[in-house]
Structure 1
């Protein structure tokens, strides 16, 4: 055997296979080698020839196989490189992570504390940006966009959404955030087009539109069309009780003859929404509902968030009044400055479409007691969650005088509701309000 010889380990590294596979190739005659004791001297020329022929076979390391199914990206915060990752389009997993200069700006939901995200954590965070499999109309969206699944749709829009400034820059690309972001640049406002809706989670059909330089979310409903009217009613209740900065205001518009809720984006190019789930998994430990109220308050205080208990009190009381069943751990949270990375406040109340007795199907579901429903995120029992409220100084029941009439007027516009529903809902609201007043009196004693 003439020429330069290399070890079996070096041959394995060059071929991208295991040493056991190299030995098998030697025994099959596909590689030239000579054995000295227990070691092999492999002909480097035969290794190079095999590489040149493109017939490398065996079980290559993960990062070297199926090159058509993996892609390298840089996770960016605007134009700051945070980390580099490799994504497997088949398994939908991040398989490699390497940090960059601005790793401290990693998404809160992708790491535990301040540090390097793991592949599992980054995979989970990316998955939370997908359109979910239960999105109404998903099949039509994928057909129109030519994507095979929500992951491909997200990556084709560079992983962007309108709740933060993170995006995925493909390896070797010189794309600039200022050229592609949805805060500055035009996009097609349509449920079946690629755009910011491609990275907006949630079951209901939804898309974004630009109006006079601002971004608005348009959201549909399920077959009963209850959600838009619940959003509108919640906004009217909040307007009576709360400060304007405490909530997102919703209106109703018709698209293709069906009611949709419309609201302006409360996130700007300088802020990020960090949901409760991500706050707790980063600064405490991964956990699930019901969350520990005192622990969440403690974390928020450590992060410098002002008036956290007052803001949580507003949420809990309003959710009790409306019997909201959808205040899950991604539907509340904190606001973070995307440049200083400081937490600057509590997110306004948003996504209230499963309120106002959404789960009621029969007139007998209403009664003389508080409405039976599952609450979130600190207790599944509404009364137990209401007992957590520590601040009623903002609550003035007199501001809700006559609100029952607004309930009847608003819900009567939904032609799909039974005729008895609007007045039954108004009566139920009176019962919910009486219980809150009792809780306030008990607290103030």
Structure 2
């Protein structure tokens, strides 16, 4: 299970319901994974209590990407804490700046903030944001949209094809929103834009 969609796997003979165990609506242990990621005693920096849940039952098992990151739950809200891959820890700061620029140019965005994580050895700066979907939504990456329509060309034409697919499916102002995202990339010299890190949010019940 993850915090990006509503798909899950279980053994055929297990009598388990997704509604009883999903991470959107239920607690999970964040301490062990968090300290394995950021260092011993780093979880204490968060000033939240660890749960008695199985440490291997966590949405952190499905996290991807190169940067250190971990999910935690605070007051029934899921938060992603993401670290840096460079010496000067610019990435978390850039996340916050990007969200502020999005606010200025009127792009739907997830608000980011900064937090210091303290361990016995060092202090680490991380960005913090809420999960962008809820228990009735899923994220569909642009790559998946193009692949499903059998229109993936791996060229600049993918941009125009992607916009047309979204417009054909009733997504309003798709061209404007995607272009504003690319303007944000230009302003911030973002070199990490690819078809797997943007997309659409769909309701899993209505498929809208």
Coarse TM-score class (shorter-chain normalised):
0.7 to 0.9
Q: CA deviation at 1:284?
A: 2.7
Give the whole-Å Cα distance in 2 for the aligned partners of 1:267 and 1:287: 29
Corresponding position: 1:260 with 2:126: yes
Match of 1:164 in 2: 5
Corresponding position: 1:328 with 2:194: yes
Aligned pair partner of 1:247 in 109, 117, 129: 109
After superposition, the Cα gap between the structure-2 partners of 1:289 and 1:260, relative to the gap in structure 1 and judged at 3 Å, is: farther
Q: CA deviation at 1:230?
A: 0.8
Corresponding position: 1:304 with 2:166: no
Contact kept? 2:151, 2:161, Cα under 8 Å: no
Match of 1:229 in 2: 93
Match of 1:210 in 2: 73
Corresponding position: 1:270 with 2:136: yes
Contact kept? 1:252, 1:261, Cα under 8 Å: yes
Contact kept? 1:220, 1:259, Cα under 8 Å: yes
Gaps of 5+ in 1: 1-159, 343-445
Give the whole-Å Cα distance in 1 for the aligned partners of 2:80 and 2:194: 19
Contact kept? 1:289, 1:329, Cα under 8 Å: no
Report the count of equivalent residues: 181
After superposition, the Cα gap between the structure-2 partners of 1:174 and 1:291, relative to the gap in structure 1 and judged at 3 Å, is: farther
After TM superposition, the structure 1 = structure 2 runs for residues 370-409 of structure 1, keeping only pairs within 5 Å, are: none
Gaps of 5+ in 2: 37-54
TM superposition score normalised by structure 2:
0.82
CA offset digits 1:220-252 (Å, max 9, x no partner)? 111321110111111222222225xx1111111
Structure 1 runs (4+) greater than 6 angstroms displaced:
none
Give the whole-Å Cα distance in 2 for the aligned partners of 1:328 and 1:292: 11
Give the whole-Å Cα distance in 2 for the aligned partners of 1:264 and 1:162: 11
Contact kept? 2:152, 2:158, Cα under 8 Å: no
After superposition, the Cα gap between the structure-2 partners of 1:295 and 1:208, relative to the gap in structure 1 and judged at 3 Å, is: same
Contact kept? 1:186, 1:210, Cα under 8 Å: yes
Q: CA deviation at 1:169?
A: 1.5
After TM superposition, the structure 1 = structure 2 runs for residues 87-106 of structure 1, keeping only pairs within 5 Å, are: none
Contact kept? 2:27, 2:76, Cα under 8 Å: no
Q: CA deviation at 1:255?
A: 1.3
**Looking at both structures, which has the greater relative contact order when contacts are Cα pairs under 8 Å and sequence separation is at least 6?**
2
Q: Which has the larger radius of gyration?
A: 1
